[in-house]
Amino acid sequence: MPPALCRTSFPFLRWPIRPFSETVDQREPDPLLAAHLAKARYSIRLLRYWWAAQAIRQECQRRADAGLEPPVIADYGSGRGWLKRFVGSDVAARWIALDWQPEQGWLRAAGYEDIRPCHFDQPLPLTDGEADVVVALHVFEHLPRVGYSLAEISRALSGGGFLLTATPTMPGLLADIREKQFRRRLAEGRLARGGHINSFSPDRLRMLMESTGLGVEFVTGSHLIRHTGNPLENLRPWVRLNQLWGSLFPSLGSEACLLARKPAVEDPDVAAWSPQPLRRGAGRPRLAVAAAAVASLILLTGAAWSLWEQGPERSVHAVMMSQFQLDASHFLVVSHPAIPEFGPDDRIDIVDHVGQIPGRLPAAPAGTHILIHETDLAALGDSGTDYIIDSRIDAGWSDFYVLRVGGSGTRLSHFLSETEREG
């Protein structure tokens, strides 16, 4: 039996799941989150917040039952504070938001008491042992020194405290190849810092945690198939089947989810606590293989039906948007003939469209980005707006870039001049 399967656990399958719109705290609504919640009852894109919230609620209840102080939770890469909304306001905890440029208004509305700007490649603004829980959802794939960042998290965790993290995943060999591609593009100036520059397998995540003194309690996959707007995401069994697949095959689960705990001090009141996830016993390999086969068949059938039901018009954009995983983004999409779903009557002349963008962006909501085809980058170079290349998207058949206005990073003008010089 493969060692990776022997270590597989099934924590998600025993945690309750209800329609997210019924459980998320929306007393001061976030319209962007509300728009996501309206797309499906159990949006697989939002599962990252659901499972972390379940683990946090369980820890808060455990501490309350033991008569301990409420935990201090550090949200590492807090964004607009969606995690806090998923946990809700009915559990006692003190929340710290950590981010490069914290969105103060949304974080306050979500209920964060302490908001601290920080750079994740530098020492964290947390004292030793200050946090009982650190949550880092889709952050490590963006960081230049993951080992250093994890060492800082380990320092900031209290004895018995734990880290919850989620990151895109794939098998070890493919992850190594993918990361080399990321680093080459970064060195060539084709990928800005802040984009995806790391790729992880479950085994690499485990190794990184253990190297910084954190013991892994479970690592599992979240899902196999994510297609925003898929009608199947209104069905709870569909979510459970995706979770079963991810539990059986973490490296093929699309998104790896991990809980790692710092060893507790020798004090019975704060001793390490384990959620005791259900583990696949060594004596039941046939049952697990059968379950995996059934889950695979149902998932693949559902995926095929989803694509047929929604048609090819939305699939390309769904793939591109899912690769750029910044939840607070607003997109202006510059159409191009290379995008198959645009017919001749729908194409926007790039020169005319570019003339409209500079005047529109300053008034657009914070976090606005432009999705643009690589052949149209030069048309933006002389627009007079300070565009930054946020990330590059390899769509397989063509390359696209996500641009934003202002801030730090690779400037479009510099990128274009370097490209011209190398050409």
User: What pLDDT does residue 117 have?
Assistant: 93
Answer whether residue 5 shows pLDDT above 60.
no
Answer whether residue 307 shows pLDDT above 60.
no
Concatenating the DSSP letter of every residue in 152-186 gives HHHHHEEEEEEEEEEEEB--HHHHHHHHHHHHHHH
Average pLDDT over residues 199-210: 91
Q: Give the count of alpha carbons within 13 A of 75, CB side only.
A: 29
User: What pLDDT does residue 280 have?
Assistant: 36
Answer whether residue 106 shows pLDDT above 80.
yes
The domain defined by 3-299 carries CATH number 3.30.2130.10: no
Per-residue pLDDT band at 349 (split at 50, 70, 90) = very low
Answer whether residue 359 shows pLDDT above 80.
no
Answer whether residue 327 shows pLDDT above 50.
no
Work out the percent of the chain whose per-residue pLDDT is above 70: 63
Average pLDDT over residues 196-210: 89
Is the pTM here over 0.95, yes or no? no
- CA separation for the pair 386, 319 (Å, rounded): 28
Answer whether residue 58 shows pLDDT above 80.
yes
Q: Cite the residue boundaries of each domain of the chain with CATH code 3.40.50.150.
A: 3-299
Q: What is the pLDDT of residues 363-384, one digit of tens each?
A: 444 445 666 777 677 766 666 6
Give bridge partners of residue 9 from the DSSP assignment. 279
User: What pLDDT does residue 68 have?
Assistant: 92
Answer whether residue 317 shows pLDDT above 80.
no
Average pLDDT over residues 4-15: 64
User: What pLDDT does residue 312 have?
Assistant: 38
Work out the percent of the chain whose per-residue pLDDT is above 90: 35
Average pLDDT over residues 330-345: 44
User: Which pair of tokens denotes residue 394?
Assistant: 């390899």
- Name the residue with higher pLDDT: 105 or 322: 105
- Name the residue with higher pLDDT: 214 or 407: 214
User: Which pair of tokens denotes residue 338?
Assistant: 């290379």
Instruction: List Cα–Cα distances, 310 to 223, 224, 242, 397, 406, in angstroms.
Output: 20, 19, 20, 21, 36
Residues whose CB is less than 8 angstroms from the CB of residue 42 and which lie 6 or more positions away in sequence, other chains included:
17, 19, 20, 233, 234, 235, 236, 238, 239
Answer whether residue 298 shows pLDDT above 80.
no
User: What pLDDT does residue 3 have?
Assistant: 37
Per-residue pLDDT band at 313 (split at 50, 70, 90) = very low
Per-residue pLDDT band at 353 (split at 50, 70, 90) = very low
User: What pLDDT does residue 277 have?
Assistant: 35
Strand, helix or coil for residue 217: strand
The angle at the Cα of 287, spanning 282 to 288, to the nearest 5 degrees, equals 70
User: What pLDDT does residue 314 have?
Assistant: 36
Helix (H) or strand (E) run with residue 289 in it: helix 285-310
Average pLDDT over residues 355-364: 41
Average pLDDT over residues 39-51: 93
- Name the residue with higher pLDDT: 318 or 405: 405
User: What pLDDT does residue 85 have?
Assistant: 96
Average pLDDT over residues 269-273: 38
Average pLDDT over residues 141-168: 92
The angle at the Cα of 182, spanning 178 to 183, to the nearest 5 degrees, equals 120
Burial class (CB within 10 angstroms; exposed 0-12, middle 13-18, buried 19+) of 13? middle
The angle at the Cα of 51, spanning 48 to 56, to the nearest 5 degrees, equals 120
Average pLDDT over residues 343-371: 42
Average pLDDT of the residues of the chain: 74
Per-residue pLDDT band at 171 (split at 50, 70, 90) = confident
User: What pLDDT does residue 398 have?
Assistant: 56
User: Which pair of tokens denotes residue 390?
Assistant: 């946020």
